Structure 1
Amino acid sequence: MKNNLSSYLSYTKNDLPAGLVVFLVALPLCLGIALASGAPLFAGIITGIVGGIVVGFLSGSSLSVSGPAAGLTVIVLNAITDLGSYEVFLLALVIAGALQLALGFFKAGIIGLYFPSSVIKGMLAAIGLILILKQIPHFFGVNANAVGEAEYSIWNLGSIVSYLGVLIDHIHVGALLVGGSSILLMILWDRPALKKIPAFKLIPKELVAVCFGLGLNSVFAAMNSPLAITSSHLVNLPVFESLGSVKESFSLPDFSQLTNPDVYIVAVTLAIIASLETLLSVEAVDKMDPAKRRTPQNRELKAQGVGNLICGLIGGLPMTAVIVRSTANLNANAKSKMSAIYHGIFLAAAVGFIPFLLNKIPLASLAAVLILVGFKLTKPALYKQQIRLGIEQFIPFIVTIVAILATDLLTGIIIGMAVGVFFILKANYKVPYFFDKESTGEGDQSINIRLSEHVSFLNKASLQLTLDHLPHNSKVVIDGTSSKNIDVDALEVIHNFKSTAKERGIMLDLKAVPELV
């Protein structure tokens, strides 16, 4: 361990500046994701700190950074409402962390390989749409009680019209100016021409947007303008004046709800989605790592489990390894996982020493950041890409989106998986063998069926259908010489056909096809 620590510290000149860059990216995202989740804003900071310091220390990943994830906002928002309180939700998060820890010990790190990519992309696209929709009131500076006047459903035109009417009636022009200018600034900041300037590459656009929004609203306030955004639409983090105030700022899980079955449904959902998002993120980061280091998947699940368990115990949000912060870390030339740890330390220092400054950030600026995050998850190019990949990829993708929007995240994923599995079965249904057919001059037919390398139970239906439709009075060879494994279900189909072939005048020759035991 000592040697490892000294090795990590040898990269301080790279990792410390990278940690600062990641902190600047993470700060607005931690606050914004907590806002989108309907949780206390301080909960996002807690998760950023734990994800940086604790998970950063335990993880085997060199470059990934963990923290609150946009992909979990929908689960958290719905769960807090359904479970009745944030404290009950924290209990579900504790259980989810324990489940992730168990998944790591049971070496379940390969679970990400069993989810079709079309379903995963559909899940993220749906989350992006929901993220954008949920930020609209904050973007326009509309009070929660005003939004509550309208029932909103994306499947009901009347409710959409009613909802938009309420928004228009209650728009705060100052918030709209702050939110709109924040989005415009972030879009301009990403322009290729500006990216050629070093400062535009080093300073995160999210931080620029938040600082600009803070500055613009401070000008409104100094001028006593009606455009000034009131405190109810600004960040509200606790200010620590004593040790007692620190303790009061943390929430504790409600263990009295251990017998509530809904808690376990939320816990399982969190554990699956958080694990999946983490595994996908670390895989993506490993591919971008210049040193081509590989993250131990099971160790990562254990680290994330510990992190989520701790967050549940002290009032944080659920976490995953997150691609935005990890990419910023890589682009900032980080060399080891110490950069993630440094970013967690910077977050702790910020909430400890400058909460007065953070509490001047308009929620409209954070909403602007999250709207762009949501757009990246569900951008039009993604839909075009899925269409180009073919119907087998596009249908599970679009069904997952529609199902999530119509029901909830877990149900939508299950429906998307069912459709995805259908196309997988259909593909396997077509390729268990190679079919050669010849006709002799006397009208007889000679058919050669060469079995593929692996013939599984998934190929049973296709094989059965093919054998049932073979012409009478033909010569048939079923050749298994290239097969390494023929499933028992497929063997039963072949040997059942053998017992009935004579009745149809079929001369059958089996080559290297095992007998049934």
Structure 2
Amino acid sequence: MMKTLPAQQMDSAVVGRDFLASIVVFLVALPLCMGIAIASGAPPALGLITGIIGGLVVGSLAGSPLQVSGPAAGMAVLVFQLVSDHGLIMLGVVGLIAGALQLLAGAMRLGQWFRAISPSVIHGMLAGIGVLIFASQFHVMLDDAPRSGGLANLAAIPEAIIKVFPADGSVHHLAAMAGIITIVTIIGWNKFRPKSLALLPGPLLGVIVGTLFALAFALPITLVALPANLTDALNIPTMEALSGALDTEILTLGIVFAFVASAETLLCATAVDKMHIGARTNYDKELRAQGIGNMICGALGALPMTGVIVRSAANVEAGATTRISAIMHGAWLLLAVVAFPFVLNEIPTAVLAAILVYTGYKLVNVAQIRKIAEFGKQELAIYFVTLFGVVAIDLLTGVILGFVLATLKLVYTFSHLSIDVAHDPETNRADVLMTGSATFFSIPQLSAALDKAPRGSEVHIHVEKLDYIDHACLEMLSSWEKLHQSTGGSLIVEWNDLVQRYGRRSGDPAKTSIASLMQRPAA
């Protein structure tokens, strides 16, 4: 017989697993929170504040218990552009707008609709973000300043590589060494880590090794700057900044932030649901929790948050079973910032940038491109148009381009009809094969094809490759059938092709006319 543990022992076992999982998530989140903040053009402390709120607040309210929230690489490009154009003080204002919109959307039960986006657009967006992060953080990894845009960062990479070779007393080569050692450590650890240390995350080990390397050789490179008191890092919006909330450009950015953060969060929640067999996500509740979290982040001037897949996956893989692990990881982040800022201040920015370079590379998922290609060239075109738009123009434009292309593909699919007509003079029989969707758009094309059938011939309509036919086409076929019968011909629909799809109807299906079809309800 199976032995059942007492409820008290089961509760303690659950808490124990969640406790260990929270440590793992904390170790993954710590370097990423600071690295994403630097990639966003913001102080590292603002990324840590977002991680703390994502754990303590959103973890307590989340509709996806095992999802972990915090600053996301996918938002870094948007935040960087906002900070560059409007200053760091407006970050909180946009965060307040985005959070309020998310809260409203959750209250209106719009959570499911944020998932109604073509996967090709989403993956193209993530790949574009990956390229932008890789290109910008490549320069930071060399203790150099990123350029003004994505294409400029990509174009300047050869120049940055040349700087690695010491010439005029610069330290670019020293920062590069620390960054390369960090990346090599992450890759090597992910590939060769022993099973006994499987829970030790590669990014954390990379930070430790890269930092120790810089300390051992006393490298004169830029280090992380955290304030001794966390309250000194707050970026609370001023009244003047809040008065700019009604500015059209700021409102637009708030809407974009809300849309991108919500889409990324809910797609992440869907992925997390596939990783475990526990409670499923309540999308509206998750959206409301994210809205509250982003409003708090906005009030403090911290980075915006989303559900993040790397930390969430680490949470599930570490054995978490309840929301306790996500909440506790926020507590560990708070403890680290309050009690050990002097330790974090020894981390070189080049090391954190190296983690983001690796993250950007991973976002351009080659395996995912191959998977999308299996669904046809059209899906691949949507993916690359979105990617190019994000990199060459901006994130919103790239997503809009991808969405428009996906919509056009959908319209084409539901309006495209291919018609082949074959006539056998010996039997005076014409076979009409229709492929695709027959709608009122197709009536001129269908009429022209039927007119090719000789007068008095026996016309057979083949429908096995037809996805859809609307009432307008059925009426047109009915009218044409009567006209063709007046010349001594007949029109026969090959119903046997549809037996498996719609079920056999009463009577002889081979002799059923279009007119009788229009009078019968669909099976």
Same fold (TM over 0.5): yes
Partner residue of 1:111? 113
After TM superposition, the structure 1 = structure 2 runs for residues 205-354 of structure 1, keeping only pairs within 5 Å, are 205-221=202-218, 227-229=219-221, 233-240=222-229, 246=231, 249-252=234-237, 254-289=241-276, 291-354=277-340
Q: 2:72 aligns with which of 49, 69, 73?
A: 69
Instruction: Give the CA deviation at 1:367.
Output: 0.9
Q: Per-residue deviation at 1:172?
A: 2.3
Note closer, same or farther for the CA distance 1:352–1:156 as it changes in structure 2 (3 Å cut).
closer
Higher mean displacement: 209-218 or 347-356: 209-218
- In the superposition, the TM-score normalised over structure 2's length comes to 0.82
SS of 1:62 mapped into structure 2: coil
Which one of the candidate residues 140, 155, 172 is aligned to 2:142?
A: 140
Cα distance, 1:121 vs structure 2: 1.0
Q: Corresponding residue for 1:3? A: none
> C-alpha separation between the residues in 2 aligned to 1:52 and 1:464?
60
SS of equivalent residue, structure 1 residue 64: coil
2:358 corresponds in structure 1 to 372
1:37 counterpart = 2:40: yes
8 Å CA contact 1:90–1:313 kept in 2: the answer is: yes
Letter in 2 for 1:130: L
Instruction: Point out the more displaced range, 102-111 or 363-372.
Output: 102-111
Matching of residues 60-99 of structure 1 within 5 Å: 60-82=63-85, 84-99=86-101
Q: Distance in 2 between matches of 1:8 and 1:87?
A: 45
- Quick check: 1:46–1:315 contact (8 Å CA) kept in 2? no
Using a 3 Å threshold, how does the CA distance of structure 1 residues 35 and 345 change in structure 2: closer, same or farther? same
Partners of 2:180 and 2:331 in 1: CA distance: 32
Write the letter of the residue equivalent to 2:172.
Answer: H
SS at match of 2:70: strand
Q: 1:464 to 1:352 in 2, by over 3 A?
A: farther
1:7 to 1:320, Cα distance in 2 relative to 1, 3 A: farther
State how far apart, in whole Å, the 2-side matches of 1:156 and 1:339 are.
38
Q: 1:38 to 1:475 in 2, by over 3 A?
A: farther
Change (3 A) 1:421 1:469: same
Alpha-carbon offset, residue 438 of structure 1: 8.1
Amino acid at match of 2:297: C
Q: For residues 182 and 155 of structure 1, what CA distance do their matches in structure 2 show?
A: 25
User: Could you give the per-residue CA deviations for residues 437-470 of structure 1, whole angstroms, max 9, x where no partner exists?
Assistant: 8858541436587x99xx7xx9443465334422
State the 1:350 CA deviation.
Answer: 0.7
Q: How many residues align?
A: 481
Give the conservation status (yes or no) of the 8 Å contact 2:179–2:351: yes
Q: Quick one: distance in 2 between partners of 1:238 and 1:462? A: 68
Q: Contact conserved, 2:65 with 2:281, CA < 8 A, in 1?
A: yes
Give the letter for the 2:196 counterpart.
Answer: P
Structure 1 counterpart of 2:261, which letter? Answer: A
| Structure 1: distance between partners of 2:415 and 2:247 | 43
State the Cα distance separating 1:354 from its structure 2 match: 0.5
Q: Which amino acid aligns with 1:184?
A: V
Which residue of 2 is the match for residue 513 of structure 1?
Answer: 518
Cα root mean square deviation, aligned: 3.5
SS in 1 for 2:428: coil
Distance (Å, rounded) in 1 between the aligned partners of 2:373 and 2:32: 31
CA distance 1:204–1:415, change in 2 (3 Å): same
Equivalent-residue separation in structure 2 for 1:9 and 1:94 (angstroms): 39
Structure 1 residues 311-345: Cα deviation after superposition (integer angstroms, max 9, x where no partner): 11111111111110011111111111110000001
Secondary structure of 1:190's counterpart equals helix
Counterpart Cα distance in 2 of 1:24 and 1:85: 31
Secondary structure at the counterpart of residue 86 of structure 1? coil
SS in 1 for 2:69: strand
Q: In the aligned structure 2, how far is the partner of 1:304 from the partner of 1:7? A: 31
Q: Residues of 1 paired with 2:11 and 2:154: CA distance?
A: 57
* Aligned residue runs from structure 1 range 427-466, under 5 A: 427-429=413-415, 441-445=426-430, 459-462=439-442, 465-466=445-446
1:238 CA drift (Å): 1.5
Unaligned stretches of 5+ in structure 1?
1-5, 222-226
Mapped contact 2:139–2:157 kept (Cα < 8 A): no
TM-score by length of 1: 0.83
Q: Mark the CA change 1:430 to 1:153 in structure 2 (over 3 Å): closer, same or farther.
A: closer
Where structure 2 has 5 or more consecutive residues not aligned to the other structure, the ranges are 1-8, 492-512
CA contact (8 A) 1:479 1:512 kept: no
Contact 1:111 1:276 in 2 (8 A): no
Aligned partner of 2:196 in structure 1 is 198
**Worse overlay, 434-443 or 55-64:** 434-443
Aligned-residue identity in percent: 35
